[in-house]
Amino acid sequence: MTGRDDHALLRAHAEGDPQAFAELFDRHADRLWSLALRTLQHPQDAEEVLQEAMISAFRRAGGFRGDAAVGTWLYRIVLNACFDRLRRRRPGLTAVAADDVLDRVASAAPGPEETAVRRAVQAEVEAALAQLSADQRAALVLVDLEGRSIDEAAVILGCAPGTVKSRCSRGRARLAPLLRHLVEA
Amino acid sequence: MGTGTHPAASDPVPPPPEEAMSSPPAEYPDLSPEADAAISDLLAGQPGLPMPPGVRDRITAALAAEAATRAALRSNDADPAEPAVRLAKSVDPVREREDLT
């Protein structure tokens, strides 16, 4: 790691540094994976889409204008690739079980009992998210799970901030009956 | 009474705007601000999904291959056998070929 910020890494990549883009990817990998996996609800699709999106970003980096954060630019490329995949997805392909998704979660909890409780809660949350439309899910992943601002989510999603707010509030309304017992607990 | 201004039954109906299409059905009423915030907080408390090492390795390898390809292309572009200063073209070769036909 070189300590260079995202813009410096992207500039170095555009100037021919062979390591710079890999370092940039490594820095954002987990968040981009969460976004792709939660949007597509399918690990194999998420890996394929993320790889295609990173190759695309690698090639297009020279055209990055620098008027947004590099992370925002990467998120947008990945999310557009996810929506392309969802449009082309063959009928009958179903989302994987939440437990399968959670096999990819590192167990950071201190004890096995607490790990099991956290895992159960997260499995319910992931399963509930899978019930949403892709648009609502992507908005909630960006705003609530990733902590992005409404304005930044709007840039990533390519829509108006009001649309992001609307998708979030409708998504939460749809999640409420599925998750109310977790909120009230 | 004439009905000439009314659309015929077979006229296409314009699609509703996106927001109308994605409106929640009646069983999903708007939440109170408190309930909305509670769901938001629950989601915010969820951990991320770390990328599995195998996935990271495969994507990193694909990026390394892409970097090697780019380096090879740049190396070809900088071929020392090529003249450092290109000669000015006096005739557009494409136009020249077209003129001959």
Report the mean per-residue pLDDT for chain B. 70
The more confident residue out of A178 and B79 is A178
Interface test with B, best of A172, A182, A184 (most B CBs within 10 A): A172
Q: What is the pLDDT of residue B37?
A: 95
Question: Is A140 within 8 Å of A168 (Cβ atoms)?
Answer: yes
Contacts of A163 (CB under 8 A, 6+ apart): A154, A157, B18, B19
pLDDT at A135 over 80: yes
A5-32 average pLDDT score = 94
Half-sphere exposure of A5 toward its Cβ, with a 13 Å CA cutoff?
Answer: 4
Q: Residue A168 carries which side chain, given as an amino acid letter?
A: C
Q: What is the pLDDT of residue A76?
A: 95
- Considering A66-70, A101-105, A111-115, the range whose residues carry the highest mean pLDDT is A66-70
Q: Residue B13 carries which side chain, given as an amino acid letter?
A: V
pLDDT at A81 over 70: yes
Q: Backbone phi, then psi, for B26, in 5-degree steps?
A: -60, -25
Q: What is the pLDDT of residue B19?
A: 47
Q: What is the pLDDT of residue A35?
A: 94
Out of B29, B43, B63, name the one closest to residue A145 (CB).
B43
Segment 57-116 of chain A within 8 Å of chain B by CB: 58-59, 101, 104-106, 108
Predicted confidence (pLDDT) per residue in A40-57, tens digit? 999 999 999 999 999 999
pLDDT at B8 over 50: no
| CA atoms of A32 and A50, how far apart (whole Å) | 8
Rounded to a whole number of angstroms, the distance from the CA of A130 to the nearest CA of chain B is: 13
pLDDT at B9 over 50: no
Predicted confidence (pLDDT) per residue in B32-75, tens digit? 999 999 999 999 999 989 999 999 999 999 999 999 999 888 88
> How much is the ipTM here?
0.84
A104-111 average pLDDT score = 50
Residue of B nearest to A18 (CA): B67
Q: What is the pLDDT of residue B92?
A: 52
Contacts of B44 (CB under 8 A, 6+ apart): A144, A145, A147
Ordered by where they begin, the domains of chain A are 1-95 (1.10.1740.10)
Q: What is the pLDDT of residue A146?
A: 94
Question: Is B27 within 8 Å of A131 (Cβ atoms)?
Answer: no
Q: Across the interface, do B40 and A173 touch by the CB < 8 Å criterion?
A: no
Q: Contacts for B21-28 with beta carbons within 8 Å, 24 or more apart?
A: B22/A133, B22/A135, B22/A136, B22/A167, B22/A170, B23/A170, B24/A170, B24/A173, B24/A174, B27/A177, B28/A170, B28/A173, B28/A174, B28/A176, B28/A177
Say how many C-beta atoms besides its own lie within 10 A of residue A146's C-beta.
Answer: 20
Report the mean per-residue pLDDT for chain A. 88
Tell me the pLDDT band of B26, cut-offs 50, 70 and 90. low
Q: What is the pLDDT of residue A98?
A: 59
Per the structure block, which two tokens stand in for A63?
A: 């055209």
Question: Is A164 within 8 Å of A154 (Cβ atoms)?
Answer: yes
